[in-house]
Amino acid sequence: MKAILCKEYGPAETLVIEDVPSPKMGDRGVKIRVKAAGLNFPDTLIIEGKYQLQPPMPFSPGGELAGEVIEVGDKVTRCKPGDRVAALTGFGAFAEEVVAPESNLLPVPDNMPDEKAAGFMMVYGTSYYALKQRANLQPGETLLVLGASGGVGLAAVELGKAMGAKVIAAASSSEKLRIAKDAGADELINYTDEPLKDAVKKLTKGKGVDVIYDPVGGDFTEQALRTMAWNGRHLIIGFAAGDIPKVPANLTLLKGCSVVGVFWGAFTRNEPEMSAQNMMELLQMYSEGKIDPKVSEVFDFEQYAEALGALTGRRATGRIVVRVGA
């Protein structure tokens, strides 16, 4: 089988496609024929040795996929050959075949295409965990989403609306904001045109926002924190801007607010039953039409460098997907 391999840390151009043996499977493993792999920001970090997870060389990147079950271990009970599934892998999804633990699989509804299924679990799982468990977002509260046109940002916009919040989407261009508007955002802020703090103050009539969803980091984190209402919650999702911010601690005191870390991968490991319940609720929302993954670009297997470049160049408006098998 073919796999995209990282044999040395570096940019996407250092990856190679090679023939490798089919992966071995244990009693609780499920072997999957990969149809599509969803790209996420950690994929760009792991190949450069900048992510907390550092697999032994050589390895195939790719943290999530959609495909068809081709073989199951003796102790697997929840799926069978022929089933369509989505899976979390951490790494390894950029390959024609993958083995994943049964616990990391999600059944794919008949009406969900492989490309959407490949980009479903991580962004919606992260955003729902952030808004539901970490922020305890309530109907009627105001949610500010930074980077609102990216994968997790768009998911947060959709979920915020589904949970009854007023959603303010912030992004760096009118085109990105149009996409956020289509996803359900109530108000839009182009933070290249006006200071974030001033725009939020105007939109909230000086009250500020109750919850901030922040996958961007850099200078935007402090700017956003200054827009917080009393008892607000600032969710730290990631640092797409590249810089890890230093937050003035006095702001949290003055505003009586919380800065809350969101590490969805650790949540799935430490609270698997709650994570599984979240996933079932997300599938229900999909079936009801409340959420719908937006796939902005689909690349062929050989175009992996271009696909990863769409993430690092911050051109993505929705999910980037690599088509692996027919």
**Does pLDDT of 318 surpass 80?**
no
Q: Note the residue count of the chain.
A: 326
The whole-angstrom separation of Cα 293 and Cα 158 is 9
Confidence at residue 326, expressed as pLDDT on a 0 to 100 scale: 67
Provide CB contacts within 8 A for 41, sequence distance 6+.
Answer: 215, 238, 240, 311
The encoded tokens of residue 315 equal 């051109």
Alpha helices in 205-301 (DSSP H): 219-225, 249-255, 264-270, 272-287
Reported as a single tens digit per residue, the pLDDT across 262-283 is 999 899 989 989 999 999 999 9
Confidence at residue 158, expressed as pLDDT on a 0 to 100 scale: 97
What's the DSSP call for residue 91?
A: S
CB-based contact 202:224 (threshold 8 Å): no
Q: Which domains does the chain have, with CATH numbers?
A: 2-120+293-323 (3.90.180.10), 123-265 (3.40.50.720)
Reported as a single tens digit per residue, the pLDDT across 201-257 is 999 999 999 999 999 988 899 999 999 999 999 999 988 877 888 989 999 999 999
Give the chain's radius of gyration (CA, Å). 20
The count of C-alpha atoms lying within 13 angstroms of the C-alpha of 15, restricted to the half-sphere facing its C-beta, is 28
Confidence at residue 198, expressed as pLDDT on a 0 to 100 scale: 93
29-to-70, 77, 184, 275 alpha-carbon distances in Å: 11, 11, 39, 19
Confidence at residue 41, expressed as pLDDT on a 0 to 100 scale: 84
Question: Which residues partner with 321 through β-bridges?
Answer: 38, 298
Residue 275 burial (10 A CB sphere; 0-12, 13-18, 19+): buried
Provide CB contacts within 8 A for 165, sequence distance 6+.
Answer: 137, 138, 139, 140, 141, 142, 143, 210, 211
pTM, entire model:
0.88
Residue 137 identity: L
What's the DSSP call for residue 22?
A: P
303-to-66, 321, 323 alpha-carbon distances in Å: 18, 11, 9
Reported as a single tens digit per residue, the pLDDT across 175-194 is 899 999 999 999 999 998 88
CB-based contact 86:63 (threshold 8 Å): no
**Does pLDDT of 97 surpass 90?**
yes
